[in-house]
Amino acid sequence: MTEPHATAHGHDLADIVAKYDGRAPRYTSYPTALQFTPKVDEDTYRGWLRELPADDPISLYAHIPFCSRLCWYCGCNTRAVNRHEPVGEYVTLLCQEMALLRDALPDRMSVRALHFGGGSPNMLSLEDIERLFAELEAAFALAPDCEVAVELDATGLSREWVRSMRRHGLNRASLGVQNLDPSVQGAVNRIQRFEEIAAAVGWLREAGVSSINLDLMYGLPHQTTANTRATVEAILRLQPERIALFGYAHVPWMKPHQRLIDEGALPWPAARLEQAEAAAERLAAEGYVRIGLDHFARGDDDMAKALEAGALRRNFQGYTTDGAETLLGLGASAIGRLPRGFVQNVAQELGWRVAVQTGQLPIARGVAFSADDRFRGEIIERLMCDLAVDLDAVCARHERPLADLSDAVTRLAPFFGDGLARLEGRRLEIIGAGRLVVRSVCAAFDSYFEPAAERHSKAL
């Protein structure tokens, strides 16, 4: 029997993570949001939209920044509301934003994926859903096989809500579970019983939603390996197609409400790691395929198949099978990706609202891709998705000499030395415990990354 936390090189995993914890970005984009500037504005965006090939299908992301309560760990752009009025007003503006977007596009574009994220989109009323889809169908042509996905908070969900969304094509849902232990839930203001999650999953299945993801977390206050294992055991009974396992990112300087969390109750790095690995081992034993940094999928799920085919992508929602070149964002803080670069909407709801009301596309900032961004972005995306990249092939596609990567490869020497990565010819592979520090491997290729200057959450 091997020691649970020994690597091939005999290092303790926690030491490895501590050594390489350069607080690297999560690389849901490259360049990352830190490089977004107001130089990319509404005019730039309008120009980029006009250039879109009219017959290429697009993806849409709509951000719904409302929840019934604020979980103290939450890193999302959302707020708690106890009345429906602000949600209804937001939906009215979202419809206006869609109309503005439609007018800025070359044609009535076909949509192949539609994602409602949050926050908790189930804060939308049944009437809001009807209004949103009426506007969506007027502005865009939803493809018959369109992927319609939604993030849900099981505690506020109803069977009617699920049925109503299903009538509009809902086929994918993601629910936050985090951890089921009452002491953890109490310490983060997220009280949620297993039965509520099971009921939500039951309504989704009964309505015919074929793909369900459950989010788990590790590293929350009072979280232990034992209560992590118990949570995994419970959710396995619900047979989710996918599971995301996120390490709690404690960034109180960015999210002041996280100060409500008792830092003394947060598990130490070695304990966090043990929780993550215990969950991962159990999921692997159950047949789930481990995907990139933090995802697991059943072998027959599209995400596992995309991994196998080298077609997995990474975007602002994390790992995705959506290969669309264009993702347009709607709502406060939403980020879009176009062939020419990234754009982000105004993050504050008030600013977003004022822009839309005055007929502007509410762009606050963004970044235009340089040829070097595309080159490095492809390497980083392949590493984040496949934990491997064929450097020769990427260099050839971008007409760059391999020598342009020699600095990055030199920076990887310690990873090679510690058995975390290897070069097989021109193929760079992350191996063994290297998966845990993949963000730091990617940072070696990031020409903007300055380890000392940036404050991201810990890599694990």
Distance in Å from the first CA to the final CA of the chain: 26
Cβ at position 82, least distance to ligand SF4 in Å: 13
Cβ at position 76, least distance to ligand SF4 in Å: 4
CA–CA dist 82, 155 (Å, integer): 14
441 contacts which partner out of ligand SAM, ligand SF4, none, CB within 5 to 8 A by kind?
none
DSSP one-letter code for 12: B
- For ligand SAM, the binding residues in 344-363 under the rule CB under 6 A are none
Check residue 200 for interaction with ligand SAM (CB under 6 A). no
297 contacts which partner out of ligand SAM, ligand SF4, none, CB within 5 to 8 A by kind?
none
Segment contacting ligand SF4 (CB under 6 A): 118-126, 219-227, 404-412, 432-440?
Answer: 118-126
Q: Are 248 and 173 in contact (CB under 8 A)?
A: no
x-or-dash pattern for ligand SF4, window 140-179, by CB under 6 A?
-------------x----------------------x---
Check residue 61 for interaction with ligand SAM (CB under 6 A). no
Please give the distance of CA 121 from its chain centroid, rounded to a whole number: 16
Check residue 176 for interaction with ligand SAM (CB under 6 A). yes
CA–CA dist 442, 385 (Å, integer): 11
**Cα separations (Å) of 263 from 249, 272, 276, 384, 454?**
12, 14, 19, 30, 22
Please give the distance of CA 219 from its chain centroid, rounded to a whole number: 18
Annotate 60-124 with three-state secondary structure. Answer: EEEEECEECCCCCCCCCCCEECCCCHHHHHHHHHHHHHHHHHHHHCCCCCEEEEEEEEECCHHHC
> Which residues, 6 or more positions from 8, have their beta carbon under 8 angstroms from its beta carbon?
419, 432
CA–CA dist 116, 133 (Å, integer): 12
Q: Cis ω on the peptide bond leading into residue 401 (within 30° of 0)? A: no
Cβ at position 297, least distance to ligand SAM in Å: 16
Cβ at position 178, least distance to ligand SAM in Å: 6
State which of residues 70, 143, 236, 388 lies at the interface with ligand SF4 (CB under 6 A). Answer: 70
Check residue 71 for interaction with ligand SF4 (CB under 6 A). yes
Segment contacting ligand SF4 (CB under 6 A): 43-51, 114-122, 228-236, 396-404?
Answer: 114-122
332 contacts which partner out of ligand SAM, ligand SF4, none, CB within 5 to 8 A by kind?
none
State which of residues 7, 29, 120, 122 lies at the interface with ligand SF4 (CB under 6 A). Answer: 120
State which of residues 32, 78, 174, 344 lies at the interface with ligand SF4 (CB under 6 A). Answer: 78
Buried b (16+ CB within 10 A) or exposed e, 59-70: bbbbbbbbbebb
Check residue 336 for interaction with ligand SF4 (CB under 6 A). no
CA–CA dist 115, 146 (Å, integer): 10
70 contacts which partner out of ligand SF4, ligand SAM, none, CB within 5 to 8 A by kind?
ligand SF4
Q: Which amino acid is at 392?
A: D
Query: Nearest to residue 360, comparing CAs of 93, 134, 110?
Result: 93
Check residue 243 for interaction with ligand SAM (CB under 6 A). no
Between 70 and 234, CB nearer to ligand SF4: 70
CA–CA dist 176, 160 (Å, integer): 20
Check residue 349 for interaction with ligand SF4 (CB under 6 A). no
State which of residues 218, 246, 316, 375 lies at the interface with ligand SAM (CB under 6 A). Answer: 246
Structure tokens, 248: 């709690």
Between 21 and 151, CB nearer to ligand SAM: 151
Kindly list the residues in this chain that would bind ligand SF4 in the complex (CB under 6 A): 67, 70-71, 74, 76, 78, 118-120, 153, 176, 190
Kindly list the residues in this chain that would bind ligand SAM in the complex (CB under 6 A): 67, 73-76, 118-120, 151-153, 175-176, 178, 215, 217, 246, 248-249
